[in-house]
Amino acid sequence: MATNILVADQDTHFFGDVCKNFDYAAQFTKHDAGLLDQIKSCNSVYRFRFPIRKGNSFEVIDAWRVEHSHHQSPTKGGIRYSEMVNEDEVMALAALMTYKCAIVNVPFGGAKGGIKINPKNYTVGELENITRRYTVELIKKNFIGPSIDVPAPDYGSGEREMSWIADTYATMNPGQLDAMGAVTGKPIALHGIAGRREATGRGVAIAVRECVSVGEDMQKLGLLPGLAGKRVIVQGLGNVGYYSAKFLAEFGAVIVGLCEFEGAIYNEDGLDVEAVFQHRKASGSILGYAGAQQEFTNTMEGLEQPCDILVPAALENQITEYNIRNIQAKIIAEGANGPTSPEAEAIFYANGGIIIPDMYANAGGVTVSYFEWLKNLSHVAFGRMNRRFEENSNLNLVNMVEGITGVALTPIQRSTIIKGASELELVNSGLEDTMIRSYHELREIYKNNEKIDTLRSAAMVGAINKIAVSYQNLGIWP
């Protein structure tokens, strides 16, 4: 029986685990040791403290911003609001962002931020003060800007916090034309982009779909190719977990288990993700949901139930050497950052499983953040310039075909063919293309080198090679 709880273990060395994965993959490359050290190291680590008023008293807040790699500019990464945030974690997440961007060919360096608070313990006004003060501290040290470092939402933060950051940056930089490009994950009304909120979860679902589409790989696992009927357990019903489950179900998978802080539920015939989400919203817990066949007060037990695919989409260090042997899934798709320890991964692969690594699987968020950044720099929504032109061109084509064939299409058929792509459709198309191309790119590395024994190592090898080329082309100056 599992004994772990759904928290990040402060005694683990998350950055050390990332470096272990890097060092292991680096042996399959041919780069200079000094260059590899430059790629692996965090370039800038800014740790700071600032006071806020809480009622009639003062409170000191600990915060960080880490810029891992400047091989591309700007650097990019979310801001985590959590009592469990520490410097090691922020460094690890910044490093993962560097490799993640390289894997999906997004031209950013990796960065990450953290504010050591539990947002539930503060009023909206206090959270706004904390967020704005954090932003000002970054501005003072030149750690934020559309061409410098671009934050985004992460665990504990969202569109509201990104709005405060955008407004603070714009206020402190009057007249800067590209000020809204200093942060992504903003609401649509404040120059955000359609599809950003669900992007990470959609990316996870596409990653899983691509993995199970390869018949050769599925045969080794004893599974049929395709997502149809595949049993899935998702850990976490936040933004990433909810949309991962939602889109996996839309793609044909059966969501048999859901796990959250308060416990886990399971139904071998499938769970209605939206109904569970609404039940939790109303009651505060997924426990007590009428459609569950089994409930577990220990949430980690939910991970160990029968399934084909497990999607840990909560926090790091959830699957370790202590519970990996109880996991019945044959595929682990990492929706969270660092949910599987290196020791657990080695055991899982030795037992014939496949892990779709976080560096690739959850890259949907930064991919669409890249699209949002491009939108902010160009100051025009995707599709606005060409949508009507496309519709008129399609209409002319339909009219010509109808005239030649003498067959008239129905109004529904005509509208479907003629309609130009919206911003959301273009964003989803770009995301899908990115995830598909990137999966098969890293799988080729995995298959073409018999010494590379995991998809994570293959992804890391691909990332190292791309980053190395950037540094070599940049040179060293002065």
List the end-to-end C-alpha distance of the chain, in Å, as a whole number: 58
Res 477 pLDDT > 90: no
Where does the pLDDT of residue 5 fall: very low under 50, low under 70, confident under 90, or very high at 90 and above? very low
- Which of 274, 321, 402, 444 is the catalytic position? 321
Rg of the chain in Å (alpha carbons): 23
Which pLDDT tens digit goes with each residue over 68-113? 999 999 999 999 999 999 999 999 999 999 999 999 999 999 999 9
Question: Going by C-beta distance under 8 Å and a sequence separation of 6 or more, which residues neighbour residue 115?
Answer: 61, 62, 63, 79, 80, 81, 82, 85, 130, 131, 134
Task: Report the pLDDT averaged over residues 402-423.
Answer: 92
Which pLDDT tens digit goes with each residue over 450-473? 999 999 999 999 999 999 999 999
Give the pLDDT score at 12.
57
**Cis amide leading into 478 (omega within 30):** yes
Give the pLDDT score at 55.
84
Which pLDDT tens digit goes with each residue over 359-393? 999 999 999 999 999 999 999 999 998 889 999 99
Nearest one of 10, 12, 100, 99 to 320, comparing CA atoms: 12
Is-contact 6 315, C-beta < 8 A?
yes
Which pLDDT tens digit goes with each residue over 271-283? 999 999 999 999 9
Task: Report the pLDDT averaged over residues 197-214.
Answer: 97
Q: Report the C-alpha gap between 255 and 236 in whole angstroms.
A: 13
CA 77 from centre of chain: 10
Kindly write down the DSSP assignment for every residue of 181-222, as one continuous string. Answer: GG--S--GGGT--TTSTTHHHHHHHHHHHHHHT-HHHHHHHT
Question: Going by C-beta distance under 8 Å and a sequence separation of 6 or more, which residues neighbour residue 416?
Answer: none
Beta-strand pair 57-67/331-333: unpaired
Question: Going by C-beta distance under 8 Å and a sequence separation of 6 or more, which residues neighbour residue 3?
Answer: 298, 300, 322, 323
- pTM of the complete model: 0.93
The answer to whether residue 210 is catalytic is no
Tokens linked to 198: 């669900």
